Amino acid sequence: MCQLASWIDRGHSPAFVVVGGSAGPLYHCSVQVQPEGSVYMSGLHEIKLYPPHRPMDVKLQYLKEESLDVGTIESVSKNSEKFLQVDIDGCSDTSSRVSCLIDENSGHSFHEDRLDNLVNSQIGSKNGLPKGTWFCKVCFKTFSQQANLATHERIHRGERPFCCTICLKTFTQQCNLWKHVRTHTGERPFVCKVCHRAFSQQANLAKHMSIHTGERPYQCHFCPKAFTQRVNQVKHERTHTGERPYSCRFCGKRFTQQSNMEKHERVHTGDKPYDCKTCSRSFTQQSNLTKHMAVHYKNKPFRCQNCAKSYTQKSNLLKHAKKCPCVEVT
């Protein structure tokens, strides 16, 4: 345990300390350094560097309490932003590193400079950010507009003031509620100019457009294949890495896709949800039913495209078609 870790371990808040890593609780030298009460941490997990051009001593401090000298900054990356990455003296934990907001000129972390600004959650220009920048006291995300910070802070407070009158589901933002309500009303304001398919959300229309443009922005890291959606790239890459995150509840067999696991679990449950309407056989997979249907179509080649009824003679199909609006024949 390094001196920072033991400092936090003694009960000090890790405020003003950010650490690199992915989502989830963050540890430094086995001590959790994630600020208490924070929920949404993605901004925090990005290590952002502020470029000082010389080595400097760094002090981390929790408001007016005891402060901790953590070390000296030796090397700094070039393309950096708001935070300064710090190597802790005598710390062997290289998996997570510590950063703090630094004033380029004084070398002080920002809260030493302007404690009153902290109260307002606003940072002055001396801290290397545009004057009037607002920040969240929980996760240190920064905002140029106070209103956007106010919206953000609802996330930490769990405040969801917008409520769907139909299903009572709640939302942090008005526009998210509006989007949600369209799932009840079926309203689809976004229409594809090419095929006229309509969508309830702009983002889903944008995804759809890749069908027409052929655009595949998500490239596999292991082979030349590319995909229209990131999810599908990740799914595909598992075929290279062998990762199988989903395991069967009954036998433990592992799968790359959740839906494949669910398909497999029906082997154990005996669930056959796909019924043949012609002979009342049922199947565990839709594709097996489709294959099976060929058996019926072989004997009755005249098939109504509308209702899938099939007939041995064309005249019977035509008779049927008088009632059914579809007259296509295979």
With CB under 5 to 8 Å by kind, the binding choice for 229 among DNA, Zn ion, none is: DNA
What gap in Å lies between CA 41 and CA 99, rounded to an integer? 15
Binding mask 111-150 for Zn ion (x = CB under 5 A): -------------------------x-xx-x---------
The entry of DNA, Zn ion, none near residue 194 (CB within 5 to 8 angstroms by kind) is Zn ion
Give min distance, CB of 29 to DNA, in A: 27
The window from 11-19, 98-106, 111-119, 225-233 that contacts DNA (CB under 7 A) reads: 225-233
Q: Which residues of 302-315 are buried (b: 16+ CB within 10 A; e: fewer)?
A: bbbeeeebbbeeee
Q: Does 121 bind DNA (CB under 7 A)?
A: no
Out of 63, 203, 279, 327, the only residue in the binding site for DNA (CB under 7 A) is 203
As measured in angstroms, the least distance from the Cβ of 98 to DNA is: 22
Among 108-116, 230-238, 296-304, 311-319, which window interacts with DNA (CB under 7 A)? 230-238
- Shorter beta-carbon distance to Zn ion: residue 18 or 49: 18
- Choices 69-77, 85-93, 117-125, 168-176; region in contact with Zn ion by CB under 5 A: 168-176
* Chain centroid offset of residue 253 CA: 26
Which is closer to DNA, CB of 206 or CB of 308?
206
Closest Cα partner for 255 from 266, 242, 267? 242
Ramachandran area for residue 286 (φ above 0: left; ψ -120 to 50: alpha; else beta): alpha
The minimum distance between CB 311 and DNA, in angstroms, equals 23
- Tokens 């989830």, located at residue: 24
* Six token digits for residue 185: 């009303």
Q: In the set 236, 302, 311, 317, which binds DNA (CB under 7 A)?
A: 236
**In terms of Cα–Cα distance, which of 77, 76, 87, 73 is closest to 2?**
87
Instruction: Compose the 169-208 pattern: x for residues touching Zn ion by CB under 5 A, - for all others.
Output: x----------------------x-xx-x-----------
Listed ranges 78-86, 101-109, 111-119, 199-207: which one lies at the site for DNA (CB under 7 A): 199-207
Closest CA to 302 of 280, 277, 327: 327
Q: Which is nearer to DNA, 63 or 191 (CB)?
A: 191
Q: Least distance from C-beta 238 to Zn ion, angstroms?
A: 10
**Secondary structure of residue 166 in the 3-state scheme:** coil
Nearest to 90 by CA among 59, 66, 69, 67: 69
Residues 249-268, mask of contacts with DNA (x by CB under 7 A): ----x-xxxxxx-xxx--x-
User: How far from 239 is each of 266, 268, 326, CA to CA, in Å?
Assistant: 23, 25, 43
Tell me which long-range contacts 3-6 makes (C-beta under 8 A, separation of at least 24).
3/68, 3/70, 3/88, 3/89, 3/90, 3/91, 4/28, 4/29, 4/60, 4/68, 4/70, 4/88, 4/91, 4/98, 5/29, 5/30, 5/31, 5/33, 5/91, 5/93, 6/31
Please compute, for residue 306, the number of CA atoms within 13 A of its CA located in the half-sphere on the CB side: 11
DSSP type of residue 265: H
Site string for DNA, 28-67 (x = CB under 7 A): -----------xx--x------------------------
Q: Which residues bind DNA (CB under 7 A)?
A: 39-40, 43, 132, 141, 143-148, 150-152, 155, 169, 171-176, 179-180, 182-183, 197, 199-204, 206-208, 210-211, 225, 227-232, 234-236, 238-239, 253, 255-260, 262-264, 267, 283-288, 290-291
